[in-house]
Structures are given as C-alpha cells and as structure tokens.
A and B are shown apart, each in its own frame.
Chain A
Amino acid sequence: MLEDIARADGTGLALLRDAAESMRLSARGYHRVLRVARTLADLDGAEKVGRVHLAEALSYRALADEVRRAA
C-alpha cells in the first residue's frame, strides 16, 4: 500500500536503493524514509515523490545512523 502512495520516480528509486544499502537501513527505516518523503511531497503539493523529497528524507535519517553507531 505504502509503495503505491509513495511511488518514487526512476532516479529517486536508484537513490533510495543506493542509500538504503550504504546506510544499511532496516526494513522499518526504509519504509519510514518513504513516509517522510511522502510528507515532503505533500508539503510541496506534488503528486509524486521526487528525488529531492527522498534526498531530504534520507538526510534526516543520516544523523540517526551516527547516533546509532554511538549507541
């Protein structure tokens, strides 16, 4: 269901795949990034989730990675 709502375009998907691998996102983390990206698109009034939205959503996750490494 979430995949339909937050479907990203081609370049966005590529970015997400690369990032998910390098950041070693959990399945939950992956879906949460999609949810945040959907909200960012909603704030922009955009129909589709674009690469910019995914990039910003991932950036909010990046710091989490650092904290978790410390934990």
Chain B
Amino acid sequence: MVQRVSTVAFEGIEARAVDVQVQVAPGLPAFNIVGLPDKAVSEAKERVRAALVASGLALPARRITINLAPADLPKEGSHYDLPIALGLMAAIGAIPQDAISGFTVLGELGLDGGIAPVAGVLPAAIGANARGQGLICPAACGPEAAWASPEIEIVAPLSLIQLANHFKGTQVLSRPQPKIRELDGTPLDLADIKGQESAKRALEVAAAGGHNLLMIGPPGAGKSMLAARLPSILPPLLPTELLEVSMIASVAGEIEGGALTNRRPFRSPHHSASMPALVGGGLRARPGEISLAHNGVLFLDEMPEFSGQVLDSLRQPLETGDVAIARVNHRITYPARFMLVAAMNPCHCGRANDPDFACKRGPNTRCVAEYQGRLSGPLLDRIDLHIEVPAVTAADLILPPPSEGSREVAARVARARDIQVERYAALGLENVRTNAQRRTGRCWKTSRAPTAPA
C-alpha cells in the first residue's frame, strides 16, 4: 500500500508538482528517501523521526521507503519534511488516509513537531490553485499563500499536533487572510534635500518613465541621499506587478511574516557583489539582485568600484528585461525589469570637476579618464539620463527646506505613469507600462494567477 502526498519543486518561480510516495513494507527496519534528494531533503529523515516522536507517534519498525516523483528532477530545500511526515502519518493511520488528498503540502519540521516557515509558498499556492488543490503550509506563511486566490483552501498549522486535530475535527483552523505589510517608520522625504533642483528634476523624470539614471558628483554632494528618496516618489505596485515581485521574493525567501508589500523594491547591493549575487545563480540558481529589483530600482552606489565583468553582465538584462541563467542542472529565466540608478564620483579623488582643484596624480583630465574608463561604453549607452550633481554650497544649506516634498512629486509621477499605462493598454501592449520598457516577446505567466484581493 503506497500513500501519496502532493508537493512541489521549484524551477525558478515556477512550482512543479512532485508526488511524495510513502511505502511502509515488512522487512528489516530502514528509512530511505529516493528521487534525487539534496542534503537538506535527505536530512528530513531525522527531523521527521524526531517530530513524530515529539507528537506522540513512533515510526513503525518496518521498511519505510519514500520516493519523490518524478525521480529525475533534483529536489532541493527543506519544504519536503511536512509532506513526508504527513504521508507517514497517513500510512500508519494517525490521520485519515483521504484527509490529505486534494492538498499540496509544504513545510519544514522542527524536532519538537513545530512547522517552520519555508521559501516559495506563494508560487506553490498559485500552482496548487491551478491544479484545483488546497494548500497546507506553515502558519507563518499562511497570509502569503492567501494571496494566490480568494477561493483556495488553506490550512496553516503551527505544529503537527494542531494539523492532526484539524483533520480529526477537534480544533478546526480558520483560513489565513492576505496581509499587506505596514510601513515601519517615516519614509525619507525629498524635502530633506536642499538645493540640487536639477538633480531632483532628473530623479522625477527617471521615476516617471522608468528610465535609467547615472549621477556623477563629488563626495558629499547628496547622490546617495537623492537615490534613497527615489522610493518615496515611485507609485505603488499595480496588482499584477505585486504578484510578479512577490513570486520572486517568495522564491528567494525574502517575504517576512507572510505579508506582501505594494512598495516597489529598492535594492542597493554593495560594490563587492559577485556576478551570481547580482544576476542570479549559485547552487540552486536563485534569483539575484536584479531580479529582486524587478519592477523597482537597482541602485549601484560607487559604480566604478564594481568589477567590470559584473557591470557588463547587466547589459543584456537591461535590454531584454529578463535574465536567463544556465547551469548544468538548471536553465531558468527570471524576470529582471528594473530601473538602474547609479552614482559615482567623477574621478578617484572625487573633485575633478572643481575648478580650484588640481589633482596630485597629474592633470585632472587624466584622473577622470582613468576612473571613468572602468565603465564600458555599451553600459553607459543604456543609461538614459546622465546628470552632474555638483557640491552643495553653504548658502544652499542655510536656506529653509524646500516647500515641495515627495508627496507633490509623487503625484506628478503617478499622473505621468497613468498616461503611459493607458497609452500602452490602448495599443494592446498590456506588458508595457512605462516609456522605458521595450516590447518583449515574453509574457510573464502571472495571468494564471487570479486577481489578488484588493
């Protein structure tokens, strides 16, 4: 007799259905997991055994075989603990055998029988919904899963015992509600910046059209300060964008407490970032910073300090709006339609554009050429707005703060963005939302997800 439980394996932001088959057969006591498990999956044995003991159950002294089908698809991650445990519980009669049919299950177990949060619950919920199944996921991820659809049945228990009671009917769990993350603290405001009016104008233009922006200026001119205030003038994510952004964040395990946010992502990696960190890759072909910045902003402070190879790897995603990561075991395409905002000094000493300054290393122009030469021409060609951010004078700083803050600018940006969305919708280009976006052949499959609750 084989007990079956549905779960998923992740391929990029797609959740592929995986069948967990549990067989408890007579023979020498053993516990084997087959079906290309990685280290985290094979260790599930110990966690499952301990969690069952903590819940007052014992593994039968028989031959237990777990198969993760399809057997040729590599299985990674700790979310197979819960489906394996539930399959075993059904096989030994601790829960009714039909209770878990019709559910996709994922979750990590603690040794005490608690269920810990895992990454990728949102894509799993969307996948389960598409197959007409419900979802069993950790309690902490419940609100995230609830975004997939208002109809999908979701059980989000804290522990194995709670789940068993739910199936018995002694303690029925209610369906979690979708949650939006509240902003913590007051956001930075553009009114904090005195002077720099032309830089603010360029920031507004970049935000309105989703254009790439490069700021060049001496240290202390306020480049990073300007960039940090960009999120405050960007409009909130549209519902379809929210799902795209959240799917990537979910796969990367970046959703805290199951609550999604409608703020546009703002990623500012340090200049020591490696290529896999930026474009994605690594052992599990995880999304990189540029995918996490999808529909938002990627801010590269001190751009020439990034390694040249890393910067040039941005060239193709900047054009196509996605990044195809090819590894031996994975071929994954992640969306990466981001706004590149970069800041840099004009030269190594930072003051080349100051007329009173003479560089000790030779003529100013040579210092500039050396420093800016680290950036490749093709990359610079892809940046629409190049602005100079001059040093602020004391006279500017003494002035009272500007009357115009982020709210007024954000209103103008939102109006300009509305015009663009309408225009491209009228042309039948639902995928294009800003002037800077190119038409691409690829359509991100968020259409499969029903509209998110408002």
Contacts and interface: CB of A to CB of B under 8 A. Distances in A.
A36 B384 contact: yes
Interface string B433-454: 0111001000000000000000
Contacts of B384: 32-33, 35-36, 60-61
A60 B209 contact: no
Interface residues of B, number: 36
Contacts, number: 87
B349 to A, nearest CB: 15
A45 B419 CA distance: 8
Contacts of A45: 415, 419
Interface of A: 1, 5-6, 26, 28-29, 32-33, 35-36, 38-40, 42-43, 45, 60-64, 67-68, 70-71
B28 to A, nearest CB: 68
Contacts of B420: 39, 42
Contacts of B388: 63
A5 B425 CA distance: 13
Contacts of B204: 43
Contacts of B205: 36, 39-40, 43, 60
Given A35-B435, A68-B380, A5 B423 contact: yes
B264 to A, nearest CB: 17
B51 to A, nearest CB: 55
Nearest to B369: A70
Contact of A42 (B373, B380, B416): B416
Given A39-B436, A71-B373, 11 more contacts: A1-B439, A32-B384, A33-B384, A36-B209, A36-B385, A40-B205, A42-B420, A60-B386, A61-B386, A64-B386, A67-B386
A43 B416 contact: yes
A67 B372 contact: yes
Given A35-B435, A42-B435, A64 B209 contact: no
A35 B209 contact: yes
B41 interface: no
